[in-house]
Amino acid sequence: MLSLERVTKTYRLGAFGLQKLTAVRDVSFEISEREIVSLIGESGSGKSTIGKLILRLTPITSGTIRFEGADVSTLNGPSLKEYYRRVQGVFQDPFASFNPIFKADRIFRMVHDEFYPEMGAREWAEKVEGALRAVGLNPPDVLNKFPHQLSGGQLQRFLVARALLLDIRLLIADEIISMLDASTRVDVLNLLADLKARGLSILFITHDLSLGYYISERAIILYRGRIAEMGPTDKVYHRPLHPYTQMLMESVPRLDRKWEEEIRVEREGGLAGPTGDGCVYASRCPRAMGMCTQQEPELREAETGHYVACWAK
């Protein structure tokens, strides 16, 4: 349904845009119908940039993003509007997504005016109530209120409900639960699972490995703008192939297993993005060989559906 082909994004930095930072480089992956894919990475890995590129919030530097066959970067006017009818995003900070001066349900009215101007008030109100119920909210409790009168979890559901008002096929969920409290987090996660059951595909962007495991069929591990490993979630988690993924799985605090006793402090890597020569993880990798600093490993299929970019494999 959605495919990325060698997508690269370079930001210009500095006073005259003289410095360049490659946030995402040569990233290719696909999302199928009714699939939840986790995009997992640490800060600076480019995971949010990929979400923004798919939503066309920032232009792509090179490569192609296709949605149902059409090149997303060529869309404009009515075709772009049609795209947004099908692809929507929800972001990390629910409070920043609302204008505090207006009531929270203004976002629904904006969808109405923009996408369904011909729909009557009564029919629209029913549609809004239906969407709110679908995300587990009781309409009388939440309608006609200001953002500060609602909790973070409620606002986040509001935003998902807003997306549901459209004929949405793909939801880009960028860290949507990292600001929520533990007790309400899992409800929003379950909501995503319910949406999938209704036929939606979801790109679930997160830094939290356990959340990715709970919700997704496939996982993509990003490191500094490159895909390190990609495959079915249980394989990536239980039999990681890339040394970076292995380090992640060992270091992440888990509830099912305590850390090993041995102390393995990672070597500090630099702060720059990919440089072009060699593997981006080579400077921190315990298994780096000569090859790793000279040529960048391509993503290769190690077993069915399980891809890794590492010379040691």
Which residues are at the interface with other proteins (CB under 8 A)?
42-43, 151, 153, 181-187, 189-190, 193, 209-211, 213-215, 233, 237, 247-248, 251-256, 258-259, 263, 265-266, 268, 271
What does the alpha-carbon distance between residue 149 and residue 156 come to, in Å, rounded to a whole number?
13
Rounded to the nearest whole angstrom, what is the least distance from the CB of residue 172 to other proteins in the complex? 20
Could you count the other beta carbons within 10 Å of the beta carbon of residue 154?
20
The owner of tokens 């962007």 is 205
What does the alpha-carbon distance between residue 16 and residue 275 come to, in Å, rounded to a whole number?
21
> 81 or 238, CB closer to other proteins?
238
Rounded to the nearest whole angstrom, what is the least distance from the CB of residue 117 to other proteins in the complex? 36
What does the alpha-carbon distance between residue 285 and residue 55 come to, in Å, rounded to a whole number?
33
- Please name which of 90, 205, 101, 210 lies closest in space to residue 157, comparing C-alpha atoms: 90
Contact 166, 86 (CB under 8 A): yes
> 33 or 181, CB closer to other proteins?
181
Beta bridge partners of 19: 13
Contact 284, 267 (CB under 8 A): yes
> 113 or 268, CB closer to other proteins?
268
Rounded to the nearest whole angstrom, what is the least distance from the CB of residue 53 to other proteins in the complex? 23
Q: What is the DSSP letter of 72?
A: G
Rounded to the nearest whole angstrom, what is the least distance from the CB of residue 82 to other proteins in the complex? 32
> 42 or 277, CB closer to other proteins?
42
- The token duo for 129 is 């109530």
What does the alpha-carbon distance between residue 176 and residue 206 come to, in Å, rounded to a whole number?
8
> 18 or 263, CB closer to other proteins?
263
Across 93-183, where does the E strand assignment appear?
A: 170-174
> 136 or 166, CB closer to other proteins?
136
Q: Most distant CA pair in the chain: distance in Å?
A: 69
Rounded to the nearest whole angstrom, what is the least distance from the CB of residue 234 to other proteins in the complex? 8
Rounded to the nearest whole angstrom, what is the least distance from the CB of residue 238 to other proteins in the complex? 9
Rounded to the nearest whole angstrom, what is the least distance from the CB of residue 120 to other proteins in the complex? 34
> 15 or 265, CB closer to other proteins?
265
Contacts of 55 (CB under 8 A, 6+ apart): 87, 88, 89, 172
